[in-house]
Amino acid sequence: MKDLNGKTALITGAGSGFGLELARLCATEGMRLVLVDVQADALDRVAQELAAHTVLAQRVDVSSPAEMQTLAAAVQAHVGAPHLVFNNAGVGFGGLIWEATVRDWDWVLGVNLMGVVHGVRLFTPMMLEAAQRDPAWQGHIVNTASMAGVLNAPNMGVYNVSKHAVVSLSETLHHDLSLVTDQVHCSVLCPYFVPTGIADSHRNRDPATMARPTPSQRISQAMSSKAVATGKLSAADVARLVLDGVRAQAFWLFSHPQALGAVSQRADEMVQGRNPGDPFAERPELGQQLRAALRG
Protein backbone atom coordinates (compact mmCIF):
# COMPACT_ATOMS: atom_id res chain seq x y z
CA MET A 1 0.00 0.00 0.00
CA LYS A 2 2.13 2.84 -1.31
CA ASP A 3 -0.35 5.67 -1.90
CA LEU A 4 -1.82 6.68 1.47
CA ASN A 5 -3.55 9.91 0.49
CA GLY A 6 -7.30 9.78 1.14
CA LYS A 7 -7.11 6.41 2.88
CA THR A 8 -8.17 5.75 6.47
CA ALA A 9 -5.88 4.87 9.38
CA LEU A 10 -7.24 3.49 12.64
CA ILE A 11 -4.79 3.94 15.51
CA THR A 12 -5.17 2.65 19.07
CA GLY A 13 -3.06 4.23 21.76
CA ALA A 14 -3.25 7.41 19.68
CA GLY A 15 -2.91 9.78 22.63
CA SER A 16 0.82 9.33 23.14
CA GLY A 17 4.01 7.61 22.00
CA PHE A 18 4.02 5.68 18.75
CA GLY A 19 0.29 6.14 18.21
CA LEU A 20 0.45 9.92 18.46
CA GLU A 21 3.46 10.18 16.16
CA LEU A 22 1.95 7.82 13.60
CA ALA A 23 -1.25 9.86 13.64
CA ARG A 24 0.75 13.00 12.92
CA LEU A 25 2.65 11.28 10.14
CA CYS A 26 -0.50 9.82 8.59
CA ALA A 27 -2.04 13.30 8.62
CA THR A 28 0.89 14.65 6.62
CA GLU A 29 0.25 11.86 4.11
CA GLY A 30 -3.34 13.05 3.68
CA MET A 31 -4.96 10.14 5.49
CA ARG A 32 -8.25 10.23 7.36
CA LEU A 33 -7.83 9.32 11.03
CA VAL A 34 -9.77 7.18 13.47
CA LEU A 35 -8.16 7.92 16.83
CA VAL A 36 -8.58 5.62 19.83
CA ASP A 37 -7.22 5.90 23.36
CA VAL A 38 -8.31 5.04 26.89
CA GLN A 39 -7.10 8.40 28.23
CA ALA A 40 -9.76 10.94 27.33
CA ASP A 41 -7.73 14.13 27.80
CA ALA A 42 -4.84 12.85 25.69
CA LEU A 43 -7.28 11.72 23.00
CA ASP A 44 -8.97 15.13 22.99
CA ARG A 45 -5.62 16.89 22.53
CA VAL A 46 -4.55 14.86 19.52
CA ALA A 47 -8.05 15.05 17.98
CA GLN A 48 -7.93 18.84 18.25
CA GLU A 49 -4.39 19.01 16.89
CA LEU A 50 -5.32 16.86 13.89
CA ALA A 51 -8.92 18.00 13.55
CA ALA A 52 -8.64 18.54 9.80
CA HIS A 53 -7.95 14.84 9.31
CA THR A 54 -9.86 13.23 12.20
CA VAL A 55 -13.13 11.58 11.19
CA LEU A 56 -13.67 9.77 14.48
CA ALA A 57 -12.10 9.99 17.94
CA GLN A 58 -13.39 7.53 20.50
CA ARG A 59 -12.36 6.72 24.05
CA VAL A 60 -12.02 2.94 24.19
CA ASP A 61 -10.56 0.39 26.57
CA VAL A 62 -9.13 -2.00 24.00
CA SER A 63 -9.29 -4.88 26.48
CA SER A 64 -13.10 -4.65 26.50
CA PRO A 65 -14.84 -6.77 23.82
CA ALA A 66 -17.98 -4.64 24.11
CA GLU A 67 -16.18 -1.31 23.72
CA MET A 68 -14.19 -2.61 20.77
CA GLN A 69 -17.37 -3.91 19.15
CA THR A 70 -18.94 -0.48 19.56
CA LEU A 71 -15.86 1.09 17.98
CA ALA A 72 -16.00 -1.31 15.04
CA ALA A 73 -19.66 -0.48 14.43
CA ALA A 74 -18.89 3.25 14.52
CA VAL A 75 -15.98 2.84 12.12
CA GLN A 76 -18.09 0.83 9.71
CA ALA A 77 -20.82 3.47 9.82
CA HIS A 78 -18.54 6.52 9.47
CA VAL A 79 -15.77 5.44 7.09
CA GLY A 80 -16.16 1.78 6.20
CA ALA A 81 -13.18 -0.56 6.28
CA PRO A 82 -9.95 1.13 7.43
CA HIS A 83 -6.98 0.75 5.12
CA LEU A 84 -4.42 0.82 7.93
CA VAL A 85 -5.06 -0.65 11.39
CA PHE A 86 -2.40 0.06 14.01
CA ASN A 87 -3.12 -2.16 17.02
CA ASN A 88 -0.75 -0.24 19.21
CA ALA A 89 -2.21 0.34 22.69
CA GLY A 90 0.01 -1.21 25.34
CA VAL A 91 1.04 -1.15 28.99
CA GLY A 92 4.23 -2.03 30.81
CA PHE A 93 4.67 -4.22 33.88
CA GLY A 94 7.65 -5.89 35.55
CA GLY A 95 8.75 -7.85 38.56
CA LEU A 96 9.42 -11.48 39.40
CA ILE A 97 6.93 -13.55 37.49
CA TRP A 98 5.47 -15.40 40.48
CA GLU A 99 4.72 -12.15 42.27
CA ALA A 100 2.18 -10.93 39.69
CA THR A 101 -1.41 -11.17 40.86
CA VAL A 102 -4.26 -12.49 38.75
CA ARG A 103 -5.39 -8.88 38.34
CA ASP A 104 -1.92 -7.94 37.08
CA TRP A 105 -2.10 -10.71 34.48
CA ASP A 106 -5.63 -9.69 33.49
CA TRP A 107 -4.60 -6.06 33.03
CA VAL A 108 -1.44 -6.67 31.01
CA LEU A 109 -2.83 -9.46 28.83
CA GLY A 110 -6.11 -7.57 28.47
CA VAL A 111 -4.45 -4.53 26.90
CA ASN A 112 -1.32 -5.93 25.27
CA LEU A 113 -2.75 -9.14 23.87
CA MET A 114 -6.53 -8.99 23.85
CA GLY A 115 -6.47 -5.43 22.51
CA VAL A 116 -4.65 -6.79 19.48
CA VAL A 117 -6.95 -9.82 19.31
CA HIS A 118 -10.02 -7.59 19.23
CA GLY A 119 -8.48 -5.35 16.58
CA VAL A 120 -7.68 -8.34 14.40
CA ARG A 121 -10.97 -10.19 14.84
CA LEU A 122 -13.13 -7.11 14.24
CA PHE A 123 -11.32 -5.21 11.49
CA THR A 124 -9.77 -7.99 9.40
CA PRO A 125 -13.18 -9.20 8.15
CA MET A 126 -14.08 -5.62 7.17
CA MET A 127 -10.84 -5.28 5.24
CA LEU A 128 -11.25 -8.63 3.50
CA GLU A 129 -14.80 -7.72 2.50
CA ALA A 130 -13.60 -4.40 1.05
CA ALA A 131 -10.85 -6.22 -0.84
CA GLN A 132 -13.33 -8.71 -2.23
CA ARG A 133 -15.55 -5.91 -3.51
CA ASP A 134 -12.68 -3.98 -5.11
CA PRO A 135 -9.67 -5.75 -6.69
CA ALA A 136 -7.64 -2.52 -6.32
CA TRP A 137 -8.31 -2.11 -2.58
CA GLN A 138 -5.28 -2.50 -0.31
CA GLY A 139 -5.07 -2.85 3.46
CA HIS A 140 -2.44 -3.36 6.13
CA ILE A 141 -2.49 -4.32 9.83
CA VAL A 142 0.39 -3.43 12.15
CA ASN A 143 0.51 -4.98 15.62
CA THR A 144 2.80 -3.48 18.25
CA ALA A 145 4.80 -6.12 20.09
CA SER A 146 8.30 -5.44 21.46
CA MET A 147 11.80 -6.85 21.55
CA ALA A 148 10.30 -8.52 24.63
CA GLY A 149 8.33 -10.54 22.07
CA VAL A 150 11.48 -12.22 20.78
CA LEU A 151 13.66 -12.07 23.91
CA ASN A 152 12.98 -12.82 27.57
CA ALA A 153 14.55 -10.25 29.86
CA PRO A 154 14.44 -11.29 33.52
CA ASN A 155 12.14 -9.55 36.00
CA MET A 156 9.70 -8.70 33.18
CA GLY A 157 7.81 -11.97 32.85
CA VAL A 158 4.20 -10.85 32.45
CA TYR A 159 5.15 -8.26 29.84
CA ASN A 160 7.33 -10.79 27.99
CA VAL A 161 4.47 -13.29 27.82
CA SER A 162 2.06 -10.69 26.44
CA LYS A 163 4.45 -9.55 23.74
CA HIS A 164 5.52 -13.07 22.72
CA ALA A 165 1.82 -13.78 22.19
CA VAL A 166 1.48 -10.72 19.94
CA VAL A 167 4.41 -11.89 17.82
CA SER A 168 2.85 -15.36 17.49
CA LEU A 169 -0.56 -13.90 16.65
CA SER A 170 0.96 -11.60 14.04
CA GLU A 171 3.06 -14.27 12.35
CA THR A 172 0.04 -16.54 12.17
CA LEU A 173 -2.05 -13.67 10.80
CA HIS A 174 0.58 -13.16 8.09
CA HIS A 175 0.26 -16.79 7.02
CA ASP A 176 -3.54 -16.84 7.30
CA LEU A 177 -3.94 -13.70 5.20
CA SER A 178 -1.70 -15.16 2.50
CA LEU A 179 -4.11 -18.09 2.22
CA VAL A 180 -7.10 -15.93 1.35
CA THR A 181 -5.91 -12.66 -0.22
CA ASP A 182 -3.09 -10.75 -1.88
CA GLN A 183 -4.61 -7.39 -0.94
CA VAL A 184 -4.31 -7.28 2.87
CA HIS A 185 -0.95 -7.61 4.63
CA CYS A 186 0.38 -7.30 8.15
CA SER A 187 3.48 -6.37 10.15
CA VAL A 188 4.66 -6.77 13.71
CA LEU A 189 6.49 -3.86 15.32
CA CYS A 190 9.22 -4.83 17.80
CA PRO A 191 10.65 -1.67 19.35
CA TYR A 192 13.35 -1.63 22.01
CA PHE A 193 13.76 1.22 24.49
CA VAL A 194 12.14 4.33 23.02
CA PRO A 195 10.89 7.33 25.05
CA THR A 196 7.10 6.96 25.17
CA GLY A 197 4.48 7.01 27.91
CA ILE A 198 4.62 3.25 28.51
CA ALA A 199 6.78 3.58 31.63
CA ASP A 200 3.84 5.40 33.26
CA SER A 201 1.07 3.25 31.82
CA HIS A 202 -0.28 2.44 35.28
CA ARG A 203 -1.73 5.98 35.20
CA ASN A 204 -4.68 4.53 33.28
CA ARG A 205 -5.15 1.46 35.49
CA ASP A 206 -8.03 1.14 37.94
CA PRO A 207 -6.44 1.64 41.38
CA ALA A 208 -8.81 -0.95 42.82
CA THR A 209 -6.98 -3.65 40.83
CA MET A 210 -3.52 -2.65 42.04
CA ALA A 211 -1.76 -4.24 45.00
CA ARG A 212 1.15 -2.63 46.82
CA PRO A 213 4.15 -3.14 44.50
CA THR A 214 6.72 -5.70 45.58
CA PRO A 215 10.43 -4.82 45.76
CA SER A 216 11.08 -6.59 42.45
CA GLN A 217 8.28 -4.64 40.79
CA ARG A 218 9.63 -1.33 42.08
CA ILE A 219 13.11 -2.26 40.83
CA SER A 220 11.73 -3.18 37.40
CA GLN A 221 9.79 0.07 37.19
CA ALA A 222 12.87 2.12 38.02
CA MET A 223 15.13 0.26 35.59
CA SER A 224 12.57 0.36 32.77
CA SER A 225 11.89 4.07 33.28
CA LYS A 226 15.61 4.82 33.10
CA ALA A 227 16.15 2.66 30.01
CA VAL A 228 13.15 4.13 28.18
CA ALA A 229 14.09 7.71 29.06
CA THR A 230 17.61 7.28 27.68
CA GLY A 231 16.51 5.74 24.37
CA LYS A 232 18.20 7.44 21.43
CA LEU A 233 15.46 6.80 18.87
CA SER A 234 12.29 8.86 19.15
CA ALA A 235 8.69 7.76 18.84
CA ALA A 236 8.59 9.79 15.60
CA ASP A 237 11.48 7.70 14.25
CA VAL A 238 9.53 4.54 14.97
CA ALA A 239 6.39 5.96 13.36
CA ARG A 240 8.39 6.56 10.17
CA LEU A 241 9.65 2.97 10.37
CA VAL A 242 6.04 1.78 10.55
CA LEU A 243 4.92 3.68 7.44
CA ASP A 244 8.02 2.63 5.53
CA GLY A 245 7.24 -0.96 6.49
CA VAL A 246 3.64 -0.64 5.33
CA ARG A 247 4.79 0.65 1.95
CA ALA A 248 7.34 -2.16 1.63
CA GLN A 249 4.93 -4.85 2.91
CA ALA A 250 7.62 -5.80 5.43
CA PHE A 251 6.52 -8.12 8.20
CA TRP A 252 9.30 -7.64 10.79
CA LEU A 253 9.75 -4.03 11.95
CA PHE A 254 12.71 -3.70 14.33
CA SER A 255 13.60 -0.29 15.72
CA HIS A 256 17.01 -1.52 16.92
CA PRO A 257 18.33 -4.14 14.47
CA GLN A 258 21.61 -4.16 16.39
CA ALA A 259 19.77 -6.08 19.13
CA LEU A 260 19.08 -9.00 16.80
CA GLY A 261 22.35 -10.63 17.79
CA ALA A 262 20.69 -11.66 21.04
CA VAL A 263 17.77 -13.09 19.07
CA SER A 264 20.17 -15.14 16.96
CA GLN A 265 21.93 -16.37 20.10
CA ARG A 266 18.62 -17.43 21.61
CA ALA A 267 17.72 -19.33 18.43
CA ASP A 268 21.08 -21.10 18.52
CA GLU A 269 20.49 -22.09 22.14
CA MET A 270 17.15 -23.64 21.23
CA VAL A 271 18.45 -25.48 18.17
CA GLN A 272 21.48 -26.80 20.05
CA GLY A 273 19.54 -27.65 23.19
CA ARG A 274 21.57 -25.32 25.44
CA ASN A 275 20.13 -23.71 28.52
CA PRO A 276 19.30 -20.00 28.17
CA GLY A 277 22.44 -17.92 28.40
CA ASP A 278 23.20 -14.97 30.66
CA PRO A 279 21.00 -12.08 29.53
CA PHE A 280 23.54 -9.69 31.04
CA ALA A 281 26.60 -11.09 29.24
CA GLU A 282 27.25 -7.75 27.55
CA ARG A 283 26.51 -5.70 30.68
CA PRO A 284 27.54 -7.86 33.65
CA GLU A 285 27.44 -4.93 36.04
CA LEU A 286 23.69 -4.58 35.38
CA GLY A 287 23.14 -8.25 36.21
CA GLN A 288 25.18 -7.94 39.39
CA GLN A 289 23.19 -4.87 40.40
CA LEU A 290 19.86 -6.61 39.84
CA ARG A 291 20.87 -9.80 41.65
CA ALA A 292 22.19 -7.83 44.61
CA ALA A 293 18.98 -5.80 44.80
CA LEU A 294 16.72 -8.85 44.61
CA ARG A 295 18.77 -10.87 47.12
CA GLY A 296 19.50 -7.99 49.44
Pairing of strands 139-144, 8-12: unpaired
Is-catalytic flag, 192? no
Whole-angstrom distance between the N-terminal and C-terminal Cα of the chain? 54
| Among candidate residues 39, 134, 49, 43, the one with its CA nearest the CA of residue 83 | 134
| Among candidate residues 78, 88, 75, 167, the one with its CA nearest the CA of residue 125 | 75
Residues contacting residue 78 through CB under 8 Å, at least 6 positions apart:
34, 55, 56
Q: How far apart are CA 85 and CA 88, in angstroms?
A: 9
Residues contacting residue 125 through CB under 8 Å, at least 6 positions apart:
none
Question: Which residue out of 86, 107, 159, 254 is catalytically annotated?
Answer: 159
CA distances from 77 to 73, 74, 160 (A): 6, 5, 36
Q: Could you give the residue numbers annotated as active site?
A: 159
